Chains A and B, each alone.
Chain A
């Protein structure tokens, strides 16, 4: 599956395209098929996102998971500061990245 990610222009936060708006949670990411570049063009022009790009995603038992480790770290937060990640209460959250 193909998913689209980028950063919120104003806050810089990592965001994921859920099919209609941008979400902070990769679990919300939609399979954009072949429409990724068109979505990026529209959304960047509207200044809702910056540095957006299309990546490969996988469906895992835990939900959508970016295929590459770099994007899994983007999705979670720094593995060395899980207190700052999107799952601060989950001590094993880093395992999802690896």
Chain B
């Protein structure tokens, strides 16, 4: 994985010193909150419901064991013994003290980490496929390209004050595991008819209050021009994006309002101009970065079979592990969704254990997934059982990847000052209600947001839940039919909302409809797409009846 050069390290160290001085000036009164707020946000420090919250960047979700260990240590030293992994492949700490925040950044810098551009109207952390470098179906490892984007976008003077925040995802497989088309820019690395690699650019996607699927604006940008093309896309957005209304300021609104053709035309004109300016990083820099992502020293000729005699282990292998490009290896997902647990939370001990296991079994690498789980990308199949036993003993062996219990949930009103309703208690109730039935239901991606900002990706859930505030009371809208993969679609609201228990009951009815209509190997989403909303809606809103079949009162 990528390791800082002296320039990277100096840049991060300088930022720590800057923030230490800014914090000192805020605390001694030299700086007002109005002056300080944008500075702390540029360093990922929010003021949330209960305390300051620090969001630490995990570039394209990749971590070393040393970095992961540091995240665990920070949870103990500065927080309350846990961290929350997010849908942006980052980690958040919920109980930070302002005067200790510079020390945290300094600790992070010792392991080549930071919180730069995890907030504010700038280019945020670039996300990617959690199986990058391991997936059997990828064209190339997308992470060197994501790293080049990180370097290009960090402190980019032209793009530090965009109309709104800007999110990029990069993938290199036809199977989209990064919700690529729901980003401001989604890039898929592709090969053209001549066998050359390039980038397909999808621009103007996003979730939030106006969800949109990004249209393809250019199917092939040569790899030695792709940063220049990014620059053109951002320049046009920066020039024409709305700054008068924050709810209409994202690039998706610009692309929608002027039209894909007009936006693309502007980008192509800017691109042609920029090509004359020679702004593309030298190919040697990309090659330097690529060298950091060389395959680990895989052993050849190791057993390619897994002993499945322990049924619990076999279930975990079936549900949580995916095929690796290297024979004898597998990519294993550690679920941070134990039954009834808080999605994405891990204790400091669990974080350190995952770091140790990555060191012992996975060439020192971990990945954070946008579904709030952790991946050990390169595990020898011969080691898998020993690994699983250690995970299971620490409450990390839940075999529920992509099942109804593998819920994406934002922090919601339990932590977030923007939220209108709590997300986590709903997730916990669903997790518990369906634990015994999850295998029968199969793949069902359920996502919960506590407000319209959609950090919990509810638009893209096979089942989505949106928490709203109805006259001071939490209410939950239900959506069906969303998807974040290659078949990206947006969910449709079923109808009137529910209270906390009511939405769990409604989901139970939806799963019953699915199981009743399921044909062959259909997933919940497949059945929904085939039969449509009607039977689901009919069951969900059917009048309650008493045991003798009479309509219930009240």
Contact = CB atoms under 8 A, between A and B. Distances in A.
Interface of A: 7, 9-14, 44, 47, 50-51, 67-70, 73-74, 77-81, 84
Contacts of B425: 79-80
B474 to A, nearest CB: 7
A93 B90 CA distance: 31
A79 B97 contact: no
Secondary structure of the B contact surface, majority rule: mixed
B105 interface: no
A80 B97 contact: no
B97 A10 contact: yes
B27 A11 contact: no
B98 interface: yes
B422 interface: yes
A12 B47 contact: yes
Given A68-B472, A69-B474, A80-B424, 15 more contacts: A10-B99, A14-B50, A14-B51, A47-B29, A69-B472, A70-B413, A70-B417, A70-B419, A73-B414, A74-B49, A74-B50, A79-B422, A80-B414, A80-B425, A84-B95
Interface centre among A7, A51, A70, A80 (most CB of B within 10 A): A80
B51 A79 contact: no
Contacts of A12: 47, 50-52, 95-98
Contact of B47 (A51, A67, A69): A51
Nearest to A94: B425
A47 B415 CA distance: 24
Given A73-B414, A79-B425, A11 B97 contact: yes
Given A12-B96, A84-B80, A7 B472 contact: no
Contacts of A84: 80, 95
Contacts of A44: 33
Given A12-B52, A12-B97, A80-B428, A7 B415 contact: no
A78 B428 contact: no
B232 interface: no
B51 A7 contact: yes
B111 interface: no
B342 interface: yes
A40 B300 CA distance: 68
Interface centre among A44, A67, A84 (most CB of B within 10 A): A84
Contacts of B80: 84
Given A10-B97, A67-B472, A78 B47 contact: no
A73 to B, nearest CB: 6
B519 to A, nearest CB: 38
B472 A11 contact: no
Nearest to B82: A81
B52 A79 contact: no
30 contacts: A7-B47, A7-B51, A9-B98, A10-B27, A11-B97, A12-B51, A12-B52, A12-B95, A12-B97, A12-B98, A14-B50, A44-B33, A47-B27, A47-B29, A50-B47, A69-B472, A70-B49, A70-B413, A70-B419, A73-B414, A74-B49, A74-B50, A77-B50, A78-B415, A79-B414, A80-B342, A80-B424, A80-B425, A80-B428, A81-B414
Interface in B56-99: 80, 94-99
By Cβ-Cβ distance, the 8 closest A-B pairs, closest first, are A12-B51, A12-B52, A78-B414, A80-B424, A11-B97, A80-B414, A10-B99, A74-B49
